[in-house]
């Protein structure tokens, strides 16, 4: 049996590794929960950015009502870990997925979303074959123009059609204001998000006035959590990325109150020039596409490029003392694109390794 790494200091570990600062992470959970609860809403944080049951259980332990997933495969992993209040906030199509979803309903209680009858009817048929019922939200387009049925008559008619299908149980609606997370002007962002959520409010009223259940109105991204949590019609928020305090949410979306908790520990492997250092952590370790990583504790060092295996830093005068073999931490810019590159979170209390959490839903793309 291999020896445990628990108790080692960061300097004793091989690199690169994905590191989670437990104290910051737990504070971020509380910030997100308090923000959502201040608006009288339930918190159903999205798990696509961590894919890890250990993290989901900590969110639930702090007061989350359940979790949100992006794929049936993710939901299967979290259900196997004992988490059953799961929203799959992504439309599902194809016979194989319908059969897997119905099988999942035999031992768990997922909620799905639909924006077309062609999704709902095959899922209902699979559920009937297994003698189960699956809960459903109608996915409504509130301006993002990705998935989501048109609000108004189309959404109402889909809700009515789903309500008549044996094997499905209509319980509400959802929408995502993701196109508004990065609106720069705070006043304009507030106005536009309220307007988008207002579409959900009108849809809720339409459903209820027609005798349809609308117990859940689900919305909310991390970059809009402070605003969406104050919108009266919303009952739950899916905002999940804030637990890592990603710089993307702070710098591009104006998220407040969180601290960066996720880093990649790397090693300086080359010093080809006084103002340049090369690390052993490239794009296979951290993805820079939406937000570049930030060099921790070296304010005048900057990430200038990432290739497959290497990260090149431009060094200012204060960081030019870095030597080959020194360790450097990179604050992950956007966890959703970096977590899937790793098998485990190395969880630290201060400088000591406290736990290793497997990223069990990594690669569960189906």
Domain with residue 43: its CATH number is 3.20.20.10
| Any domain includes 249 | no
Residue 153 and residue 286 share a domain: no
Residue 262 and residue 217 share a domain: no
> Each residue's pLDDT tens digit in the chain (366 positions)?
567 999 999 999 999 999 999 999 999 999 999 999 999 999 999 999 999 999 999 999 999 999 999 999 999 999 999 999 999 999 999 999 999 999 999 999 999 999 999 999 999 999 999 999 999 999 999 999 999 999 999 999 999 999 999 999 999 999 999 999 999 999 999 999 999 999 999 999 999 999 999 999 999 999 999 999 999 999 999 999 999 999 999 999 999 999 999 999 999 999 999 999 999 999 999 999 999 999 999 999 999 999 999 999 999 999 999 999 999 999 999 999 999 999 999 999 999 999 999 999 999 999
Residue 224 and residue 110 share a domain: yes
Q: What is the pLDDT of residue 198?
A: 98
Q: Distance between CA atoms of 331 and 263, rounded to whole angstroms?
A: 4
In which domain, by residue range, is 308 found? 10-17+258-358
Residue 271 and residue 183 share a domain: no
Q: Distance between CA atoms of 332 and 245, rounded to whole angstroms?
A: 9
pTM of the model: 0.96
| Any domain includes 4 | no
pLDDT in tens, 7-24: 999 999 999 999 999 999
**Dihedrals φ, ψ of 242, to 5°?**
-65, -20
**Dihedrals φ, ψ of 347, to 5°?**
-100, 125
Residue 200 and residue 164 share a domain: yes
Residue 182 and residue 105 share a domain: yes
Residue 272 and residue 144 share a domain: no
| Any domain includes 110 | yes
| Any domain includes 251 | no
Q: Look at residues 201, 216, 241 and tell me which one is the last residue of a structural domain.
A: 241
Residue 268 and residue 228 share a domain: no
Residue 108 and residue 198 share a domain: yes
Give me the sign of the Cα torsion angle 142, 146, 147, 151. Answer: positive
Residue 187 and residue 44 share a domain: yes
Q: What is the pLDDT of residue 3?
A: 73
Q: What is the pLDDT of residue 357?
A: 98
Instruction: Give how many domains the chain has, as a whole number.
Output: 2
Q: What is the pLDDT of residue 1?
A: 53
Residue 275 and residue 209 share a domain: no
Q: What is the pLDDT of residue 343?
A: 98
Residue 330 and residue 183 share a domain: no
Q: What is the pLDDT of residue 100?
A: 98
| Any domain includes 343 | yes
Residues 6+ apart with CB under 8 A from 97: 72, 366
- How close are the terminal C-alpha atoms of the chain, in Å? 33
| Any domain includes 205 | yes
């Amino acid at each position: 049996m291999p020896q445990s790494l628990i108790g080692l200091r960061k300097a004793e570990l091989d690199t690169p590794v994905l590191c989670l600062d437990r104290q910051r992470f737990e504070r971020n959970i509380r910030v997100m929960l308090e923000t959502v609860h201040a608006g009288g809403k339930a918190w159903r944080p999205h798990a696509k950015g961590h894919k890890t049951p250990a993290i989901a259980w900590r969110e639930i332990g702090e007061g989350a009502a359940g979790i949100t997933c992006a794929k049936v495969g993710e939901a299967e992993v979290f259900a196997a870990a004992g988490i059953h209040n799961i929203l799959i906030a992504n439309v599902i199509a194809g016979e194989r997925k319908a059969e897997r979803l119905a099988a999942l309903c035999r031992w768990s209680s997922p909620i799905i979303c639909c924006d077309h009858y062609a999704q709902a009817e095959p899922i209902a048929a699979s559920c009937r074959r297994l003698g189960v019922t699956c809960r459903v939200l109608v996915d409504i387009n509130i301006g993002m123009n990705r998935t989501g049925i048109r609000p108004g008559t189309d959404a109402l008619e889909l809700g009515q059609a789903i309500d008549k299908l044996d094997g499905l149980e209509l319980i509400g609606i959802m929408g995502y204001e993701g196109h508004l997370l990065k609106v720069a002007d705070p006043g304009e962002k507030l106005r536009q998000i309220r307007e988008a959520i207002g579409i959900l409010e009108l849809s809720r009223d339409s459903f209820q006035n027609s005798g349809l259940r609308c117990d859940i109105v689900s919305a909310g991204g991390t970059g809009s959590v402070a605003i969406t949590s104050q919108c009266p019609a919303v009952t739950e928020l899916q905002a999940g990325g804030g637990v890592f305090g990603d710089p993307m949410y702070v710098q591009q979306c104006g998220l407040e109150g969180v601290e960066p908790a996720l880093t990649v520990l790397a090693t300086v492997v080359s010093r080809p020039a006084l103002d340049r250092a090369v690390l052993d952590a490239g794009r296979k370790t951290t993805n820079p596409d939406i937000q570049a990583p930030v060099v921790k504790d070296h304010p005048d060092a900057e990430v200038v490029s990432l290739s497959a295996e290497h990260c090149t830093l431009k060094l200012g005068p204060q960081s030019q003392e870095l030597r080959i073999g020194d360790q450097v931490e990179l604050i992950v810019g956007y966890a959703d694109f970096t977590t899937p590159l790793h098998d485990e979170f190395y969880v630290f209390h201060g400088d000591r390794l406290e736990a290793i959490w497997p990223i069990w839903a990594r690669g569960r793309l189906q």
